[in-house]
Amino acid sequence: MSGDTARERRDDLATEEPLEIRLSASRHVGSATPRPRAADGSASTSTGAPGGAHRTVAITMRTPGHDFELAAGFLYGEGIITPGDLSSIAYCTDEDLPQEARYNTVTVRLRQGRLPELPALDRHFMTSSACGVCGSAGLEVLHDRCAPLPAGTGVQVAPKVLYGLPDRLRAAQSVFGKTGGLHAAGLFTAAGDLVAVREDVGRHNAVDKLVGWALMTERLPLRDSVLLVSGRSSYEIMQKALSAGIPVVCSVSAPSSLAVDLAREFGMTLVGFLRDERFNVYSAPERIATP
C-alpha cells in the first residue's frame, strides 16, 4: 500500500530457522581429525557423534549460513570450548533426525573423551534471534575466564575512519539489500579496511559467526581489530567481543547500561550512535585518536 494505491507484488524475506548445537566427546582421544571449516566452505567429514557422549547445548533461531562458525563462536564466547578443543564440526545425520532437521543440527566434536561438566549449560537450551542467551553470567563470573584488556594498548582509530565504517558495512550486506531484515557485524582494521562481515536475523548471531570464523582460521585474539554492529550494543555482544580480544566495539545505535559497565570494567573502548559523522565514546577513549 502506498498512499491510496494498493498493489500486489513479491517481497523477499530474511530466513529464520532453529539451529540445534550439540557437543560431542571424541571416542578416540588424540586421533588425527580434519580441521573444521565454515559452513559454506569445505566441510568436515565427520557426521555426528557415533559412540561418543553428547548433549544439546543450545537451540537458537538464526539465518542459515555459516552455521559451523555460529556454533564455534557461540561455544567459545560462552567459555565452553578453547581453540585446542575442536576436533570437527559437522551437520548431524543421525537416523533419529527427520530429513528437514539435519541441516538445522550441528555437532561439535571435542578432542577430549569427556564432555565439560558445566551446570551453567542448562540455561542455554533455548535462545532467540532477538536477545540471545538471556541471564548470562554477571561481571564477577566473567572475570573468571576473561582478563581485562591492558590500558592504552591495541589499536588507535581516527574519527574519520570511524565515520566511514557504517557505509562500508552496509555496502557489504548482500542479503540486507534484498530483504532489509538482517543485522550485521563487521570486523575492520584500524585503517578502516573490512576484514570480514556476517549477517543474521540476530545481532549476537552475527558476532558469533565472526568470532567462529576467527577461531576456525586461527586468528584469535583479535587485538588489532574494530567491531561494528548494526543496532545497539548489548551486554552479550560486549561479552563475545571481549572473549575474542577485540579492543574497540562500535554500534550505530545506543549501548545498554550493562554493556557500558562491562566495557569500563574490562578496559574496552565502546562507541555508540556512530552515524552522520558523529559518535559517543563511553569508555577507554584513549584508543580514539582525537586532536
The residue among 271, 288, 290 whose CA lies nearest residue 279 is: 271
The answer to the question of whether 274 is labelled as a binding residue is yes
DSSP 175: H
* 255 three-class SS: strand
Q: Compute the distance between CA of residue 158 and CA of residue 135 in angstroms, rounded to an integer.
A: 35
**DSSP secondary structure letter of residue 188:** E
275 annotated to a ligand binding site: yes
The annotation status of 68 as a binding-site residue, yes or no, is: no
Q: Is 92 a catalytic residue?
A: no
From the candidates 92, 131, 134, 146, give the one annotated as an active-site residue: 131
State yes or no: 198 annotated in a binding site.
no
Q: Are 226 and 168 in contact (CB under 8 A)?
A: no
Work out the end-to-end distance of the chain between its first and last CA atoms, rounded to an integer number of angstroms. Answer: 49
Q: Count other Cβ atoms within 10 Å, centred on residue 196.
A: 17
Q: C-alpha cell of 218?
A: 586461527
- 278 known ligand binder: yes
Would you say 116 and 71 are in contact if contact means Cβ atoms under 8 Å apart?
Answer: no
277 annotated as belonging to a binding site for a ligand: yes
DSSP H or E run through 281: strand 278-283
CA atoms in the 13 A half-sphere facing the CB of 61: 13
Please state, in angstroms and rounded to a whole number, the distance separating the CA atoms of residues 79 and 219. 17
* Catalytic positions, written as ranges: 131
Q: Per the annotation, where are the binding residues?
A: 273-278
